[in-house]
Amino acid sequence: MHDIKTIRENPAAFDAALSRLGADAMSSEILAIDEARRAKILAAETAQAEQNKASKEVGAAKGRGDEEEFQRLRGLVADKKAEVARLNDEAKAEDARLTDLLMRLPNLPYDDTPEGADENDNVEIRRWGTPRELAFKPKEHYDLPAVQDGMDFETAAKLSGSRFVVLSGAVARLHRALAQFMLDTHTEEHGLTEAITPVLVREEMMYGTGQLPKFGEDSYKTTDGWWLIPTAEVTLTNIVNGATIDESYLPRRYTAHTQCFRSEAGSAGRDTAGMLRQHQFEKVEMVSVTHPDNSEEEHARMTRCAEAILEKLELPYRTVVLCTGDMGFGARRTHDIEVWLPGQDTYREISSISTCGDFQARRMNARFKPAAGGKPEFVHTLNGSGLAVGRCLIAVLENGQQEDGSVTLPAALHPWLGGKTRITAEGKMA
């Protein structure tokens, strides 16, 4: 959420930043509501002071036997009490209007975030690995002979509908091994703390990380009010919701492997084949909670953590900075990592690493106490995939495919597969 004081101090800069996102200027509307809210608060304080003054005078009038003045002052006290209550209610209504409006506005991009309309304006910053030159026409993951028996969309559709899959046998084992490999790498080599978190959360947690109120249709809500998480960003970030922590507590770096749920609203017709876009999927998420002075360095560090997974798996990738038109609601800057998929002959997103500044912290009221003393300050939060397990499975299968229909598996995974090195064309681990 945005700081109303900052908008008051420089409304033109606020509107200019919104315009980079393709959004309309909002400072006039925001400040009009803010002014009305503050006017109601001032009027309530004035009426309260008049009520207090009259209350003191009531006793004096009673003491000197001035019945007429006593009754007048009693009436004035009652009137002022009603006026204070009305003005406070009106101030609360204006405050709710202001909060709702600010909650619906996206985070503002950093000055160095490239400006653009869509993904075509993203800026590549590096590339790693060289795609294999294949002597045969590569297949997409769901057409590989090695996975035909282990990736069942028909049964999943019977069970749950479209955009679900049942994995079994060697494919299921590979999927599990990938998640374990990612968690072990992040905890043992990258210094992240593993967490196991709920996948059902209260509504206020979805507000805290920015999924609500604007993007409720993208997630699933249960009949008793809980929400299914779209990613463990929600649970891991909200660990500090409402907390004021010591500066020595920072940075906190978490990772979690969870089921994730997305309705994919508005994505009809996009990536319907295979596992690329599912309603239920798994991710290994990374979240950092940092001191504001260190969030830039942390963004680079988190990006390297995700890239390192792909390098260990020998999967070619490229890293891009998202332009303002392609960036998510809560981000100030985002690095997308795109893995090479030979079946599609292109790079596809496998991780987004975003730095949010104090945007989420303000929504959560998450602060830290400076070691040197002074008022508590808002923390900075960052999040990113480390990685999307299903998409990584796709990449491993497609990049390891052989002409005979088998799949050669990355050497880094062998210890998590009991020494197995490939999936045969018949779908067996070997």
247 is in an annotated binding site: no
154 is in an annotated binding site: no
232 is in an annotated binding site: yes
Residue with tokens 């990049």: 399
262 is in an annotated binding site: yes
Q: Show the tokens assigned to 415.
A: 């210890």
Neighbours of 117 (CB within 10 A): 11
349 is in an annotated binding site: yes
Q: Show the tokens assigned to 17.
A: 């930043």
163 is in an annotated binding site: no
Alpha-carbon gap, residue 199 to 187, rounded angstroms: 21
Burial code (b: 16+ CB inside 10 Å, e: under 16) for 3-26 equals ebeebeeebeebbebbebbeeeeb
Neighbours of 277 (CB within 10 A): 16
Residue 293: exposure state from Cβ atoms within 10 A (0-12, 13-18, ≥19) = exposed
Alpha-carbon gap, residue 158 to 60, rounded angstroms: 82
CA angle 337, 240, 198 (to 5 degrees): 70
Under 8 Å between Cβ of 305 and 298:
no
238 is in an annotated binding site: no
Q: Which amino acid is at 85?
A: A
19 is in an annotated binding site: no
CB neighbour list of residue 350: distance below 8 Å, 6 or more residues apart? 310, 317, 337, 338, 339, 385, 387, 388, 391, 392, 395
Which residue blocks in 348-412 are alpha helix, DSSP H?
A: 359-364, 389-399
CA angle 190, 196, 198 (to 5 degrees): 140
135 is in an annotated binding site: no
Under 8 Å between Cβ of 276 and 391:
yes
Neighbours of 193 (CB within 10 A): 13
**Active site residues per annotation:** 262, 277, 349, 352, 391
319 is in an annotated binding site: no
**Which helix (H) or strand (E) covers residue 304, if one does?**
helix 295-312
Alpha-carbon gap, residue 34 to 28, rounded angstroms: 10
Q: How distant is the alpha carbon of residue 290 from its chain centre?
A: 16
285 is in an annotated binding site: yes
Task: Extract the annotated binding site for L-serine.
Answer: 231-233, 262, 285, 383, 385
Task: Extract the annotated binding site for ATP.
Answer: 262-264, 349-352
Task: Extract the annotated binding site.
Answer: 231-233, 262-264, 285, 349-352, 383, 385
